[in-house]
A and B are shown apart, each in its own frame.
Chain A
């Protein structure tokens, strides 16, 4: 490929030597510390939760101010001091950001390396200054008249950040002086020969970096939340060593009678509803086969268009539809009553009977037309000559379905079947949440809904740690199932599915 930035040839290669690499590593470490809850440098009081990182404090000021609402009201602490704390945190975060930007820029050629190292040096100098100034803040916390009320403490993070800023300052200064970075001897001419430029591979990488950062923050950082499974966690408290309970919640899952019964019930619901879905997973295929048997195109397109609509409305709207049709004044009751078939209408949605079947039926109503599309597309990919040849040989309609269409669709069906087996535990919670009520909640609660209810929606009885344990099991089992399904696919068809 002849791709690349204009003037690529003049870009000096090489990573800039060992010192520069160490300097970048230090910058990365500082960036990671920004997100680490244990080393929040501005946690000057036990009132600030030990679970919030410096980053959290900076993006949501409430994390710093809210815990002091009472203390502020009683005059135990003045707002100025808190604002100072917040300001210091903000300045430190900015310093780290400057260091990080410098680190990115230092991936370029010599002039950019120099620029990057300078930015990082400036950032770490500011950071060092602020973290030294924090000592004064710590002193003021300790000197508060009612200091016992605000539980003053000297944050470990303050020391850690001081050290990191000091090291970063030293490293970026050292890198700045190294052979690979400093201005070559003799000058202005040499400088003019090498304008600032970034090698293509790094400029591409830096362009992707913001998105990679988003992925890390929203998809990988939650994994850190698994540590809650090993603590006795109550919202607002810190994950301190004395709250560490090891495998208590894992054991609890198998020992506590009530929880055990809940899990058994929830698993039965989950597996039953997934099982019905898997057992009828051939329905979309049949739907597609019969749909393509319609012998003129216009009605076929129309049917396909209409039957896909329900897939695009949310489960709340499906519930609204169900409500319109099946509630006491709904279409079904009022029609049956006006025909004299029943004397008294009842609310079918409030009954707990046959919930698994009803949920399956709503799933079919919503998803059948949509799931059939992929099969319709596959059928149109089957060679028409096969059908013609079969007709000449006297094959019947059903014979052709069985011997040509079905084998043609099997690979697609097989992949989707394996995926639905791998997703057995993930029914999602939307459908079951909206249809849940007092009458049916015993039989409608699936694993996803149970985790939500247990962890976030039980008011004072919510148990975040236990819900995390259940969620962990679910994630691990799902991934295992996926690998097994993938392996099975590979063994049977010689092709993997992921």
Chain B
């Protein structure tokens, strides 16, 4: 901000800025340090980690935990399921939002207002968890991978975002294409879709993060199908039930294990922290790319439907 440019800093200003910077530095540290702490604990000597001796810097660095993790338990399967639902669900959602957002801008559509309202109302009202679950099981989507994907295809909020965005695109572009004889599908594919790429990137990134992070649907819908658990669900199980981990560790080290072998190879704590790190990593990696879409996303979102 240039608000104070040209003015001399008074003593009060200096005190204010010192306090202000101190506060934000501390808060930023509080937001960053946990991830750093998690990370150094997954690459440090496992025995030191077990007793909580790794605090500020890594000690006895090794990557064994990550290598072992992939051969252990059902993490691989969970990663597959999570990546699968994120890719498929996000792709379909973005396409559907783009297309539906385009369609509802067409004034000549039959029953357009009704269609648009039917979509928007669902943002403010839902039947509740139990009826939703019963509906899903009635549709055969419990214990079924598609239960993750199909319900998330139509996302009312994203449709509104795309609609608002398309309305801001000059109508002449579309009209000239229409005069040249292009149908709706052609106009959408050749003009609208490429033009709305920025807003589609925004909703796709948020959608992908949502898919990656979601775990209640895994708990509620897939309880009968452990092979369909998402990574978050697995992590939750590892963090909360120690008996599962015991089994996991003995599976990982070939069955016959002594106390000492456990301590030196894998222990519960390193295991839990490593799974957590693997789960966080993709988010932290796409985060720098997401950042530029924040303000854009939140500001378009502020526009009413």
Contact = CB atoms under 8 A, between A and B. Distances in A.
Interface stretch (B64-72, B179-187, B195-203): B179-187
Contacts of A316: 213, 215, 232-233, 235-236, 239, 279
Contacts of B153: 211, 214
Interface centre among B34, B232, B294, B299 (most CB of A within 10 A): B34
A360 to B, nearest CB: 15
Interface in B34-88: 34-35, 37-38, 41, 50-53, 55
Contacts of B16: 293, 397
B52 A330 contact: yes
Interface string B15-48: 0110011011101101110110110010000000
Contact of A374 (B212, B214, B302): B302
Interface centre among B119, B129, B181, B280 (most CB of A within 10 A): B129
A360 B138 CA distance: 37
B37 A452 contact: no
Contacts of A376: 295
A384 to B, nearest CB: 7
B280 A4 contact: no
Interface stretch (A52-60, A76-84, A264-272, A274-282): A52-60
Contact of A377 (B107, B131, B139, B295): B295
Contacts of A412: 302
B256 interface: no
A468 B181 contact: no
Given A456-B133, A474-B128, A56 B140 contact: yes
A324 B124 contact: no
A309 B131 contact: no
B158 to A, nearest CB: 12
Contacts of A302: 28
Interface in B252-305: 269, 272-273, 276, 279-280, 283-284, 287, 290-291, 294-295, 298-299, 302, 304
Interface stretch (B1-9, B162-170, B243-251): B1-9
A389 B216 CA distance: 53
A455 B130 contact: yes
Contact of B3 (A216, A307, A387): A387
Interface string A397-441: 100000000000000100000000000000001100110010000
A379 to B, nearest CB: 9
A216 B122 CA distance: 10
A205 interface: yes
Nearest to A59: B140
A384 B3 contact: yes
Interface in A292-328: 292-295, 297, 299, 302-303, 305-310, 312-314, 316-317, 319-321, 323-325, 328
A479 B125 contact: yes
B130 A204 contact: no
**Interface size, B (range):** 35 or more
Interface in A322-375: 323-325, 328-331, 333-335, 338, 345, 365, 368-369, 373-374
A12 B215 CA distance: 52
Nearest to B284: A309
Interface string A25-58: 0000000000001000000000000011101100
B190 to A, nearest CB: 14
B130 A331 contact: no
B280 A313 contact: yes
Interface stretch (A16-24, A183-191, A195-203): A195-203
Interface stretch (A117-125, A130-138, A145-153, A217-225): A217-225
A458 B298 CA distance: 39
11 contacts: A218-B150, A218-B151, A221-B135, A222-B131, A294-B17, A307-B31, A317-B279, A374-B302, A433-B216, A471-B127, A479-B125
Interface of A: 1-6, 37, 51-53, 55-56, 59-60, 62-63, 200-205, 207-208, 211-212, 214-226, 228, 290-295, 297, 299, 302-303, 305-310, 312-314, 316-317, 319-321, 323-325, 328-331, 333-335, 338, 345, 365, 368-369, 373-374, 376-377, 384, 387-388, 391, 397, 412, 429-430, 433-434, 437, 448, 451-452, 455-456, 464, 467-468, 471-472, 474-475, 479, 482, 497-498
Given A215-B119, A334-B53, A434-B240, 20 more contacts: A3-B178, A56-B138, A59-B139, A63-B140, A211-B96, A295-B17, A305-B291, A309-B31, A316-B213, A316-B236, A320-B276, A324-B276, A331-B55, A334-B51, A365-B31, A412-B302, A430-B215, A448-B129, A475-B127, A497-B304
